[in-house]
Amino acid sequence: MGIEGIGARVARKEDKRFLTGLGRYVDDMVVPGMKHAIFVRSPHAHAAIRSVDTKAAKAMPGVIGVLTGAELKNDGIGNLICGWMIHSKDGTPMKMGAYSALATDRVRYVGEAVAVVVAETRGQARDAAEAVEIDYEEMPAVTDAVEALEKGAPQLHPEAENNLIYDWEIGDASAVDQALDGAAHVTRMKLVNNRLVPNAMEPRAALGHYDMAEDHFTLWTTSQNPHVARLVMSAFYNVAPENKLRVIAPDVGGGFGSKIYVYPEEIVCLWASKKTGVPVKWVADRTESFLTDAHGRDHHTEVSLGFDADNRMVALKVDTIANFGGYMSLFSSCVPTYLYATLLSGQYAIPAIHCNVRAVYTNTAPVDAYRGAGRPEATYLLERTVETAARELGVSPAELRRKNFIREFPYQTPVIMNYDAGDYEASLDAAMREADYAGFPARRDEAKKRGKLRGIGMSCYIEACGIAPSQAVGSLGAGVGLWESAEVRVNAAGTIEVLTGSHSHGQGHETTFAQVVASRFGVPLEQVSIVHGDTDKVQMGMGTYGSRSGAVGASAIVKALDKVEAKAKKIAAHLLEADESDIVIENGEAKVAGTDRTLPWFQVALAAYTAHNLPEGMEPGLKEGAFYDPTNFTFPAGCYIAEVEVDPETGHTDVVQFVASDDFGNIINPLIVEGQVHGGLAQGIGQALLEGCHYDPASGQLVTASYMDYTMPRAGDLPSFQVSTTNTPCPGNPLGVKGCGEAGAIGSPPAIINAITDAIGNNDLSMPATPQKVWAAMRRNQ
């Protein structure tokens, strides 16, 4: 293993272009004749559209076309789909309302696209968009999911009676009820998981180009999974058949889930390009991002956790209402079900678990997966409940957790998941050591002298990454398989290109994937290039989300490398006149084990392409592809400990210490892993303390539609993180890796809230724990 192989702290190759402003994003793409689109959006949360008059707008300077939903429909463009079928407990399929890329007869959230203007300049398109006359008949709106289920609530879709999309359950309800009845202690809580706006640094963008000569479409888009976008647009939206549609996702400035989905704007830019005869570019402004990017979280949950007299968990009962917004986004349905309820066992041996989930339409932006997707919601409720139980039982939160840890693997939970490996106690011990847990009382007393309330809080999370075994998810309703693909091309002079179906939008694949290849053959990192994000270059792939790129994407690369290595060994054996089984490839050369006979790597490659002297019957070339379908999820887990100081006069919280001990299995690049954890922690602490998406309940207007009202975490809001890892290698994939992209966002919110409630001595606190909320909670003590 060379210095730049698996396990090396290599600085990211891609950062040079990002940090010097040389990254190329969709908005940097310029196509000859390109024009600009601006969307006309609903100012109302809920209204009937009586008419759309585009006449005045069409007459405005520079305007090339003004297009409406009616025309979209006429041209046979299909409604947006949801790619995961969930059945309610009564056996009926989920009730999905029609979702057109441009609204035709009704709008259901502020910001919904109704028409599009294409003009010479963005400014002209903007001016003309204001001249599109839409006659709305306003209707009462509902933004809160609990209220949307109540009698008499405004109804959004005729297909979904009482705004209920599905009423789903998992687990054994009667076993849970029985166990809770017989429990020595039951901790009950009502918890809200606050709605978040993803806020990727790069706003969404799309450039659609219809080439009349070839009858072919190209879409440059901010996507985490260009192949999935192409598949969905071809198979369901009738934009173009797959062989006539190229989707390119170039450099993408962050996604966090929000760029998984195929959005109306992408479909419309392609369709509008053919319609108007010009390439059409749209770039969201920040307000559009707030209004229309798929939001995250937004759960209301009631939870009961029962213990026996020995403080062992006996049952967990969860009842969740999940806000889906005005329409079902592409993967919305699986988030509060199979990405959430299946993780409710956490790190604990809980014999009986039942979870009921109601998915609900409201007059808000669609909600879908956002960094962690379901697992943060599960972790927040479980870890707040466990911490609360420890307080109620008068035992140490650490020891209550320790007592209930799962210790034998594989472990079958009552909610589908089968944990393959882990050592939860190792993470707990490492975190407690790093945090100097035992020294906390002294720190609390010292803070008190300074007039500060210091608190400590813990969270032991588990999550599921490496999404996912195709057959398993298919049986649960997924419309796609969740394997990954790779092709390894060794060029004639030995450099290597890897084409991957994973997509990098901040994860550092160009470095980690190259390290995997460099390790295998001992070639320098700069001789390895990673190609991704273009359906014309890369074979079908499934993209990046759910921390799957290492566990699934890199596994596909390993499979392809196996094939390349096997062939290279055959060639080397032939040239070195040795037995194939005696050939080893390392340090950039093939050698006969135990001898000094070697052949440089490039000569092996060259031999494959000159084909002057290959083994009998061997095809020329050195290029292999592979598809890897995982056999199980992977299960990263860890322990986070937060310490906070609260100003009793203002309620302001300072996070003064944050320790993260994660088990990600084997690690390809510790530097990148730490970066991923830092980013995740910033987002998780953001959710816990700062970020709260707020719709005005009466008007349905998004009040937090800019950074003046939506608080993003800033460096000054965060401490210097103390991160470390423990390692139980994942037995399910060749690299033994688990995934690290979401853990920080999953594990940190409950640690922060547990620390604040510890500091102030009041457990009645919701996220984001703003100064005013913390102050109000302290006042309720008095």
Partner 1 sequence: MSSGELEIGVEPTESFLLTTHYSLLTTSLIDLEEENPMHQTTYHRASSVSEAVKLLNDADDGKYVAGGQTLIPTMKQRLAAPSDLVDLRHIADLKGIEVSGDKVKIGAAATHAEVAENAALAKACPAFCHLAAHIGDPHVRHMGTVGGSIANNDPAADYPAALLALAATVHTNKREISADDFFVDLFETALEDDEIITAVSLTVPEKAGYGKFPNPASRYALTGVFVARRADGVRAAVTGAGENGVFRAEAIEKALSSSFDASALDGVTIPADGLMTDIHASAEYRANLIAVMAKRAVQAANG
Residues forming contacts to partner 1 in the complex (CB under 8 A) are 61-62, 121-124, 126-127, 130, 285, 287, 649-652, 690, 694, 703-704, 707-712, 770-772, 775-776
Minimal distance in Å, beta carbon 704 to partner 1? 7
Nearest to 688 by CA among 725, 718, 660: 718
Q: Select 121 or 418, whichever has its Cβ closest to partner 1.
A: 121
Q: Select 41 or 567, whichever has its Cβ closest to partner 1.
A: 41
Minimal distance in Å, beta carbon 196 to partner 1? 14
Minimal distance in Å, beta carbon 263 to partner 1? 21
Instruction: Give whole-number Cα distances, 734 to 245, 515, 633, 655, in Å.
Output: 34, 15, 14, 39
Q: Residue 716, SS3?
A: helix
Minimal distance in Å, beta carbon 696 to partner 1? 9
Asked, as a colleague might, if the bond just before 768 is cis with ω within 30 of 0, I would say: yes
Q: Select 631 or 650, whichever has its Cβ closest to partner 1.
A: 650
Minimal distance in Å, beta carbon 769 to partner 1? 11
Q: Select 36 or 503, whichever has its Cβ closest to partner 1.
A: 36
**CB distance 170 to 415 below 8 Å:** yes
**CB distance 626 to 563 below 8 Å:** yes
Tell me the CA end-to-end span of the chain in Å, nearest whole number. Answer: 62
Q: Select 445 or 649, whichever has its Cβ closest to partner 1.
A: 649
H helix or E strand, kind and range, residue 623: strand 623-628
Asked, as a colleague might, if the bond just before 468 is cis with ω within 30 of 0, I would say: yes
Minimal distance in Å, beta carbon 650 to partner 1? 6
Q: Select 211 or 717, whichever has its Cβ closest to partner 1.
A: 717
**CB distance 124 to 61 below 8 Å:** yes
CA distance 208 to 206: 6
Minimal distance in Å, beta carbon 553 to partner 1? 36
Locus of tokens 């009041």: 762
Minimal distance in Å, beta carbon 100 to partner 1? 26
Q: Select 584 or 703, whichever has its Cβ closest to partner 1.
A: 703
Minimal distance in Å, beta carbon 777 to partner 1? 12
Q: Select 97 or 713, whichever has its Cβ closest to partner 1.
A: 713
- Encoding tokens for residue 185? 């202690």
Minimal distance in Å, beta carbon 693 to partner 1? 11
Minimal distance in Å, beta carbon 484 to partner 1? 38
Contacts of 588 (CB under 8 A, 6+ apart): 521, 522, 523, 524, 600, 601
Q: Select 287 or 495, whichever has its Cβ closest to partner 1.
A: 287
Contacts of 127 (CB under 8 A, 6+ apart): 60, 61
Contacts of 21 (CB under 8 A, 6+ apart): none
How many Cα atoms occupy the beta-carbon half-sphere of 671 within 13 Å?
A: 15
Q: Select 130 or 580, whichever has its Cβ closest to partner 1.
A: 130
H helix or E strand, kind and range, residue 633: none
Q: Select 281 or 358, whichever has its Cβ closest to partner 1.
A: 281
Q: Select 194 or 356, whichever has its Cβ closest to partner 1.
A: 194
Q: Select 373 or 690, whichever has its Cβ closest to partner 1.
A: 690
Minimal distance in Å, beta carbon 371 to partner 1? 20
Minimal distance in Å, beta carbon 772 to partner 1? 4
Q: Select 397 or 692, whichever has its Cβ closest to partner 1.
A: 692
Instruction: Give whole-number Cα distances, 170 to 320, 354, 368, in Å.
Output: 12, 6, 20
Contacts of 125 (CB under 8 A, 6+ apart): 36, 37, 38, 62, 63, 117, 118, 119
Minimal distance in Å, beta carbon 709 to partner 1? 5
Per-residue b/e over 36-47, b at no fewer than 16 CB within 10 Å? bbbbbbbbbbbb
Sort 147 into a burial class: Cβ within 10 Å, 0-12 / 13-18 / 19+.
Answer: middle
Phi and psi for 264 in degrees, rounded to 5?
-50, -40
Asked, as a colleague might, if the bond just before 140 is cis with ω within 30 of 0, I would say: no
CA distance 499 to 491: 13
**CB distance 488 to 562 below 8 Å:** no
CA distance 319 to 322: 10
